[in-house]
């Protein structure tokens, strides 16, 4: 398979500038979401209402970027009539901005869930939540780099890490299930812990889908499990 690693140069410089502008907006939006994920991680130990207010303000900025990207992408579609890799790129930008907007919502909700945990905070569980947040932030940073560089291999590596997040979520879920059975007074707090972990698991899913979009832009093919299998086989050669 021939891999296209960059969008081609176009006769009109304004067209290239529009595509680069879309790329930069996605990168800016992604960085804002990364910052929200780190803020969510910090809220697991420092739980106060000011962090909720900060998360809401940051989420508004993410929503504003979402609107800017949709408008800019619509202009490109209407005026430039993109084809081939350019069309895949613009379509993927619209999908990615939607994913990032939802990811921002999840990160904001995670901060809110953290505050509602109250004094209930088993250290092993907090550590696993922090590990999940760190891993998701790393995945998103790598996915954004793959998007910027049109790097299929980086995108696939992001995809591989999704299982790591799933495993951590299952561990937290089972622990919280046990804690609720042992002491019913902790049901409410445990429920918020589970939802916080689920938010992080869904954030990883959105990040994985972003990586799959990169694969689609560059290769022109939809990503499925065979991509991971083939990549694994190639790495052993």
pLDDT grade, residue 231 (50/70/90)? low
Closest C-alpha to 217, from 12, 26, 30 = 26
Residue 48, pLDDT > 90, answer no
Q: For residue 8, is it within any domain?
A: no
Per-residue confidence band for 156, with pLDDT thresholds at 50, 70 and 90: very high
In a domain, 52, yes or no: yes
Tell me, yes or no, whether 217 lies in a domain. Answer: yes
Look up the pTM and report it.
Answer: 0.89
pLDDT in tens, 131-153: 999 999 999 999 999 999 999 99
pLDDT of residue 210: 96
**pLDDT given for residue 3 in this prediction:** 47
CA distance 173 to 167: 10
- pLDDT value at residue 224: 78
Flag whether 162 is in a domain: yes
Residue 4 counted as domain residue = no
Q: What is the mean pLDDT of residues 78-84?
A: 88
Whether 59 is in a domain gets the answer yes
pLDDT score, position 5: 40
- pLDDT tens digits, 193-219: 999 999 999 999 999 999 999 999 999
The whole-number average pLDDT for the span 46-70 is: 94
Say if 7 falls within a structural domain.
no
**How far is it, in rounded angstroms, from Cα 222 to Cα 220?**
7
CATH number at residue 43: 1.20.58.220
Q: Please, what sign has the CA dihedral across residues 21, 22, 28, 29?
A: positive
Buried b (16+ CB within 10 A) or exposed e, 131-161: bbbebbbebbbbbbbbbeebbbebbbbbbeb
Whether residue 161 lies inside any domain: the answer is yes
Tally of domains within the chain: 1
Percent of the chain with pLDDT over 90: 74
Residue 214, domain extent:
13-232
**Encoding tokens for residue 182?**
């042992």
Model confidence at 6, pLDDT cuts 50, 70, 90, reads very low
Q: Is the pLDDT of residue 2 over 50?
A: no
């Amino acid at each position: 398979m021939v891999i296209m690693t960059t969008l081609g140069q176009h006769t009109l410089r304004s067209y290239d500038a529009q595509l680069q502008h879309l790329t930069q907006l996605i990168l800016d939006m992604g960085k804002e979401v990364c910052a929200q994920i780190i803020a969510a991680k910090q809220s697991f130990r420092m739980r106060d209402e000011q962090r909720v207010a900060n998360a809401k303000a940051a989420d508004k900025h993410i929503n504003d970027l979402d609107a800017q990207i949709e408008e800019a992408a619509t202009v490109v579609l209407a005026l430039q009539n993109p084809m081939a890799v350019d069309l895949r790129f613009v379509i993927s930008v619209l999908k990615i901005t939607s994913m990032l907007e939802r990811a921002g919502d999840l990160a904001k909700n995670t901060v809110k869930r953290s505050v509602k945990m109250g004094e209930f905070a088993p250290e092993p569980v907090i550590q696993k939540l922090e590990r999940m947040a760190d891993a998701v932030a790393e995945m998103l940073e790598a996915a954004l780099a793959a998007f910027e560089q049109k790097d299929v291999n980086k995108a696939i590596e992001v995809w591989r890490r999704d299982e790591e997040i799933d495993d951590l979520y299952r561990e937290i879920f089972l622990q919280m299930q046990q804690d609720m059975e042992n002491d019913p007074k902790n049901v409410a707090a445990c429920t918020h812990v589970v939802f916080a972990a689920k938010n992080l698991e869904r954030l990883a899913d959105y990040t994985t889908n972003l990586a799959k979009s990169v694969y689609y832009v560059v290769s022109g093919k939809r990503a499925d499990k065979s991509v991971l299998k083939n990549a694994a086989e190639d790495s052993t050669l």
